[in-house]
Amino acid sequence: MSLRPCAAAGGSLLSKEEIDANFSDLHEPLSGLQARAEADRCLYCYDAPCIDACPTSIDIPTFIHQIRTGNVEGSAKTILSENIMGGTCARACPTEVLCERACVLNVSEEEPVEIGALQRHAVDYLMAKGGAHPFKREPETGKHIAVVGAGPAGLSCAHRAAMLGHKVTVFEAKEKPGGLNEYGLAAYKMVNDFAQKEVEFLLGIGGIDIEYNQRLGGTISITELQAQHDAVYVAVGLGATNALGLQGEDKDGMRDAVDFIEELRQAKDKSTIKVGDDVIVIGAGNTAIDAAVQAKRLGAENVTLVYRRGEANMSATDWEIDLARTNGVNIRLWSAPAAIHGKSAVSSMTFERMRDEGGKLVASGKSFDLPADMVLKAIGQKLDTSKLEGFDISAGKIVTGDNFKTSVAGVFAGGDSIQSGEDLTVQAVEDGKQAAHAIDAFLKAK
Amino acid sequence: MADLKCTIAGIESINPFWLASAPPTDKYINVVRAFEAGWGGVVWKTLGEDPPVVNVSSRYGVHKDGNQGVLGINNIELISDRPLETNLEEIRRVRKEWPDRVIIGSMMAVIEEKVWKDLAVRIADAGVHGIELNLGCPHGMCERGMGSAIGQVPEMVEKVTRWVKEAVDIPVFTKLTPNITNILWSAEAAQKGGADAVSLINTVNSIVSVDLDEMAPNPVVDGKGTHGGYCGSAVKPIALNMVAEIARNPETRDLEISAIGGIETWRDAAEFIALGAEGLQVCTAAMLYGFRIVDDMIAGLSEWMDDKGYQSIEDFCGMAVPNTVDWNELNMNFDTKAFINPDSCIECGRCHIACEDTSHQAIEFTVANDGKRSFTVVDEDCVGCNLCAHVCPVPECIEMRPVDNGKPYVTWPNHSLNPMKAAE
């Protein structure tokens, strides 16, 4: 799929219209005709590799076949039966390293079937059609499950648990549901308030209540939740960020990329967001790319993404790196942050040139300065362990044994706060779905 | 450059590509545009007695593949709905303006000698090179005792052919309907009646689809539909067989054939000629893509003939006929096995599931530790059916390799397991 470059600041500020256009859908949805043509490219593989490559195991050949036969609603049900957030995953999944990388057409035609775009076509069709929720609840079990966190893992668990007949209350620290879908994904991937629409759709199953502004260690505690519910599911995500560990990290203009992205996502009018003229983004993951590209699209004159190692080490996918380059983001590799300059606000940074010596990253002794009035740190998020007393924690994640059980009896966990796979929306949805089944089995055995 | 000139029923044509009697040959303007595009001849849309017929609105239905490609269309249009004299006048004009192109007059009438003869004479007088008897239309006209109503009765086919042969001194083509049990009965009847050539196939009787909202067959005419004539590439296999049946039948092998039925490409054309057709007629391909499609039919056929060293159409006409035989003449000892080339396999698994579910469980599927999927033919179980090669999306990935078993050519009648043979 071709990359659409943004309108760039030509020495003057971008107009509101230009900024609005920069934050419209990154990919136009497929038309019905395009979807049928694309669906027709699918070979309908047997025991297809794309299914294995999907963390939620969506039956991709079947849903594409259903688009081909004109059963688009059935196609959406096939998707949603494995992944209730198929709409967000269709927009945000790095399909280039998941299903689409596994597509056999990479070998024969060099271009995979656009599985993500087709998935969006089907799910959007069903959601736009409205009507009754596509899934039914089993008879009420009388059991009540508490879910901490209304992000993808928490909501996926809630939906599946509700389907299995349980009553679910979700406790969310923020004012809105959706977690990173609402606060963390790039704005041009989730236009038209899609995260909220998806939550509303998901809640259509019934049996789920969400209580907002309920934070662990504040209004709620694990002990209380345990006392009042038959089981607890913790899906709090990664609430803290890593620091550079440099002097001056508190200067004005120094920000966490996730905060910048959250502010952008919550702004109805993107042109009201302040962005620097010289923006440095530090990091090499998809969050760094999202921050850099969005800064450019807001009209930043110069955006430089700096990473201490080489491109092959970047955790952002090739597609995301291309997106950054297409949007005019300058990428400087083998450069490690060494100093922050400026009085009350950051004015520049010094970077040390690095090199690889037999797999070890070493300073070369050379350095350079980059002017900066805004620095966005995207060097990783981490679990906030301060409110998780009593949980076994290892390598910065909640330890879960078989079936998502934590070290605390009757408490399960999933999503980014545990070590299950990549920290991706789609993995969180899978964790939530599987945890719901694990909790169901636990409650039946109780 | 190969010579594409051909002669059928004594009529010379600059190339074998004629437009069949159908909507594309209805008027002066269409025919002139066809000749400008390079078509060698046209069979004018079927003429009948005045007053002309009246056609309905909504005339074509379609059968498509998943990607909007048309496999076949069916139509419920009748014969020319313009006055006879208007058509004849236009035929005269085109004949004058395009002296090197062929025009055949197609006609139909009720089963009355005088009507056939009078109409044939009037058309012949307009200067056509030959007359084609439309005994095939499977819709509308047959309800009035014409078209396939005549073509389905061999005695009538013979009678009508004879009447027209008696009335005119130009070549007569009898156009046959495929909506019969045995094409040889009508071909033999045409031959007995004195036909100079047969044209086949006319359209196949069909309902192309059902409109599930209107609950009526397509094309829907004010809430109702009817069966129509199916044509296009979907009917090519039916046409190839019927042409071959006539070409290899000792009684009819000398009958010249103007082949019709789903010809879209030069390759289709070459196949019909190889099965014994002296000339070709095309309709649906032109209706779908315009007259320009003849460009590559001409260019592709010449290229292929040059490659093969054929100087003229006659050089390969009928070459596949001796190899088209009854099942009983096939070699029971021939053995072929599928071979899946691992270098070109893209691991889709289509061959495996086709064989596993519906054939002989002869393709083994294994997944290596690194996730690589392998599909391997088990020779002992493979019967050489070709299904895997047909479903494989990669051209030439699955090869059918004949086994050199050193066994002689043995047909079923001579086979040791044939109970009839054992009884001898």
On the question of pLDDT at A11 being above 70, the answer is: no
Are the C-beta atoms of B204 and B181 separated by less than 8 Å? no
Are residues B396 and B266 both part of a single domain? no
Tell me if A36 and B346 make a contact (CB, 8 A cut-off). no
What was the pLDDT predicted at A4? 58
A397: enclosing H helix or E strand: strand A397-398
Q: What is the DSSP string of A213-227?
A: S--BTTTB-HHHHHH
- Report which residue type is found at B197: A
Are residues B275 and B296 both part of a single domain? yes
Are residues B138 and B281 both part of a single domain? yes
Q: Is B67 on the interface with A (CB under 8 A)?
A: yes
Are residues B261 and B331 both part of a single domain? no
Q: Is B111 on the interface with A (CB under 8 A)?
A: no
Domain A144-239+383-445 falls under CATH 3.40.50.1970: no
Are residues B227 and B345 both part of a single domain? no
Smallest Cβ distance to A104: which of B66, B68, B346? B346
Give one word for B348, left, alpha or beta, with left for phi > 0 and alpha for psi -120 to 50. alpha
Residue in B with minimal Cα distance to A110: B346
Work out the widest C-alpha separation in chain A, in whole angstroms. 68
At residue B395, the 3 state secondary structure works out as: coil
For the stretch B13-44, pLDDT in tens is 999 999 999 999 999 999 999 999 999 999 99
> Where in A3-59 does DSSP place strands (E)?
none
Average predicted confidence (pLDDT) for chain A = 95
Chain A residues inside the 8 Å CB shell of B373: 47, 49
For the stretch A178-207, pLDDT in tens is 999 999 999 999 999 999 999 999 999 999
Residue B416 maps to which CATH number?
Answer: 3.30.70.20
Q: Is A39 on the interface with B (CB under 8 A)?
A: yes
CB proximity list for A117: less than 8 A, separation 6 or greater: A1, A27, A29, A30, A35, A38, A90
Q: How many Cβ atoms are within 10 Å of A11's Cβ, its own excluded?
A: 5
> Where in A215-262 does DSSP place strands (E)?
231-234, 240-241, 254-256
Q: How many CB pairs under 8 A join A and B?
A: 43
Q: Which fold has domain A241-377?
A: FAD/NAD(P)-binding domain (3.50.50)
Chain B residues inside the 8 Å CB shell of A44: 350
**What percent of chain A has pLDDT above 70?**
98
Tell me if A44 and B350 make a contact (CB, 8 A cut-off). yes
The token pair at A228 is: 């009042």
For the stretch B315-344, pLDDT in tens is 999 999 999 999 999 999 999 999 999 999
What is the distance in angstroms between the Cα of B210 and the nearest Cα belonging to chain A?
Answer: 15
Smallest Cβ distance to B350: which of A40, A46, A108? A46
On the question of pLDDT at A12 being above 90, the answer is: no
pTM: 0.90
On the question of pLDDT at A6 being above 60, the answer is: yes
Are residues B230 and B279 both part of a single domain? yes
**Four-residue CA torsion sign, B294, B300, B303, B307:** negative
Chain B residues inside the 8 Å CB shell of A104: 346-348
Smallest Cβ distance to B393: which of A33, A36, A108? A108
What was the pLDDT predicted at B422? 61
In 3D space, the residue among B70, B47, B242 whose CA is nearest the CA of residue B164 turns out to be B47
For the stretch A166-186, pLDDT in tens is 999 999 999 999 999 999 999
DSSP class of residue B129 equals: S
Q: Is A361 on the interface with B (CB under 8 A)?
A: no
How many CA atoms lie within 13 Å of B220's alpha carbon, on the beta-carbon side?
A: 11
ipTM of the complex: 0.84
What was the pLDDT predicted at A115? 98
Tell me if A40 and B352 make a contact (CB, 8 A cut-off). no
Per-residue pLDDT, averaged over A210-221, amounts to 95
Are residues B226 and B355 both part of a single domain? no
What is the distance in angstroms between the Cα of A71 and the nearest Cα belonging to chain B?
Answer: 13
Residue in B with minimal Cα distance to A37: B67
Task: Report d(CA B262, CA B285) in Å as an integer.
Answer: 7
What was the pLDDT predicted at B66? 75
Q: What are the sequence ranges of the domains in chain A?
A: 30-129, 144-239+383-445, 241-377
On the question of pLDDT at A389 being above 90, the answer is: no
Per-residue pLDDT, averaged over A83-101, amounts to 97
In 3D space, the residue among A113, A94, A111 whose CA is nearest the CA of residue A42 turns out to be A113
Q: Which of A42, A44, A46, A107 to mutate to test the interface with B (most CBs of B within 10 A)?
A: A46
In 3D space, the residue among A145, A140, A141, A142 whose CA is nearest the CA of residue A231 turns out to be A145
Chain centroid offset of residue A163 CA: 24
Phi, psi torsion values for B4, nearest 5 degrees: -95, 5
Residue in A with minimal Cα distance to B391: A43
Residue in B with minimal Cα distance to A46: B349
At residue A126, the 3 state secondary structure works out as: helix
Task: Report d(CA B123, CA B130) in Å as an integer.
Answer: 9
Are the C-beta atoms of B15 and B6 separated by less than 8 Å? yes
Chain A residues inside the 8 Å CB shell of B375: none
Chain centroid offset of residue B353 CA: 33
Are residues B210 and B345 both part of a single domain? no
Q: Which of residues 376-415 of B touch A (CB under 8 A)?
A: 393-394
Give domain status of residue B161, yes or no. Answer: yes
Give one word for A131, left, alpha or beta, with left for phi > 0 and alpha for psi -120 to 50. left
**Four-residue CA torsion sign, A306, A309, A311, A315:** negative
| Residue at which a domain ends, from B273, B292, B316 | B316
Phi, psi torsion values for B173, nearest 5 degrees: -105, 125
Per-residue pLDDT, averaged over A388-412, amounts to 93
Chain B residues inside the 8 Å CB shell of A45: 347-350
Smallest Cβ distance to B353: which of A46, A49, A68? A46
Give domain status of residue B214, yes or no. Answer: yes
The token pair at B298 is: 């001409």
Are the C-beta atoms of A181 and A426 separated by less than 8 Å? no
- Report which residue type is found at A226: Q
Give domain status of residue B68, yes or no. Answer: yes
| Residue at which a domain ends, from B287, B316, B345 | B316
Chain B residues inside the 8 Å CB shell of A112: none
> Selecting from 3.30.70.260, 1.10.287.3510, 3.40.50.300, 1.10.1060.10, what CATH number does the domain A30-129 have?
1.10.1060.10
| Residue at which a domain ends, from B288, B316, B344 | B316
What was the pLDDT predicted at A392? 94
Give domain status of residue B340, yes or no. Answer: yes
Residue of B137, B231, B283, B351 marked catalytic: B137
Give domain status of residue B322, yes or no. Answer: no
Instruction: With both helix axes pointing from N to C terminus, report the angle between A152-163 and A194-203 in degrees, rounded to the nearest 10.
Output: 20
Phi, psi torsion values for A57, nearest 5 degrees: 55, 40
Task: Report d(CA B1, CA B37) in Å as an integer.
Answer: 19
Are residues B212 and B89 both part of a single domain? yes
Fold match between A144-239+383-445 and A241-377? yes
Residue A1 — very low, low, confident or very high, per pLDDT cuts 50/70/90? very low
Tell me if A104 and B365 make a contact (CB, 8 A cut-off). no
What was the pLDDT predicted at B190? 98
What is the distance in angstroms between the Cα of B347 and the nearest Cα belonging to chain A?
Answer: 7
Chain A residues inside the 8 Å CB shell of B394: 108
B87: enclosing H helix or E strand: helix B84-97
Q: Which residues constitute the domain of residue B309?
A: 6-316
Chain A residues inside the 8 Å CB shell of B390: none
Are residues B174 and B43 both part of a single domain? yes
Q: Catalytic site residue B142?
A: no
What is the distance in angstroms between the Cα of B214 and the nearest Cα belonging to chain A?
Answer: 18
For the stretch A329-362, pLDDT in tens is 999 999 999 999 999 999 999 999 999 999 899 9
Task: Report d(CA A61, CA A47) in Å as an integer.
Answer: 9
Q: Which of residues 54-113 of A touch B (CB under 8 A)?
A: 68, 104-105, 107-108
What is the distance in angstroms between the Cα of A43 and the nearest Cα belonging to chain B?
Answer: 7
Chain A residues inside the 8 Å CB shell of B352: 46
Tell me if A45 and B349 make a contact (CB, 8 A cut-off). yes
Are the C-beta atoms of B44 and B131 separated by less than 8 Å? no
Residue in B with minimal Cα distance to A70: B66
Q: Which of B67, B348, B356 to mutate to test the interface with A (most CBs of A within 10 A)?
A: B348
Smallest Cβ distance to B67: which of A40, A43, A108? A40
Residue in B with minimal Cα distance to A34: B67
- How do strand B279-282 and strand B17-19 relate by DSSP bridges? parallel
For chain B, residues with pLDDT lower than 50 are none
Are residues B347 and B290 both part of a single domain? no
Are residues B301 and B392 both part of a single domain? no
**What percent of chain A has pLDDT above 90?**
92
Residue in A with minimal Cα distance to B392: A43
Residue B158 maps to which CATH number?
Answer: 3.20.20.70
Chain B residues inside the 8 Å CB shell of A108: 346, 393-394
How many CA atoms lie within 13 Å of B389's alpha carbon, on the beta-carbon side?
A: 15
Tell me if A46 and B373 make a contact (CB, 8 A cut-off). no
How many structural domains is chain B composed of? 2
Q: How many Cβ atoms are within 10 Å of B422's Cβ, its own excluded?
A: 9
CB proximity list for B307: less than 8 A, separation 6 or greater: none
Q: Is B360 on the interface with A (CB under 8 A)?
A: no
